[in-house]
Amino acid sequence: MPPPLSQAKIENVLSLLDSGQSANQIALKLDISVSCVSRLRSKYRPDLPKAAGGRPALLSPTTMRYAQRLITSGKADTAVDVSNELQADLHKSVSPQTVRRALKKMGMEAVRLKKSSPVPTTRASKRPRRAKS
């Protein structure tokens, strides 16, 4: 069993936690285990927020608002257009599906176009008749 941590090392861990460093970074810097850092966080700083897990977002909130503005201003009609604009303007390669997901998350949804009504009978009668074979 490893020896208990000194008070100075505990204070060092807590100050690094308060500065916003992750448990992994602190463990590497102070040469202690990650679980030890986690235990100290839960004991001394239970209200400290934990880091969000997962892969970092490809689109920042600013880029998402820019994509939304492209749609609302009429510069782009589809997610493919937005993706091309982001590539041209911001040099950010993003797939159209990622753009769709981001726009949906912001509350924008695809609009289905209504099918055009059939030709009215008044105009249909004026059309030339085609020979049936």
The residue extents of the domains of the chain are: 7-44, 61-105
Kindly report each contact of residues 122-128 with a partner whose C-beta sits within 8 Å and lies 24 or more positions away, as own/partner. none
- Amino acid letter, 57: A
The DSSP output letter for 115 is P
Rg (CA), the chain: 29
Per-residue pLDDT of the chain (133 residues), as tens digits, is 667 889 999 999 999 999 989 899 999 999 999 999 999 999 999 998 877 788 988 999 999 999 999 999 999 999 999 999 999 999 989 999 999 999 999 999 887 778 877 766 666 667 677 766 5
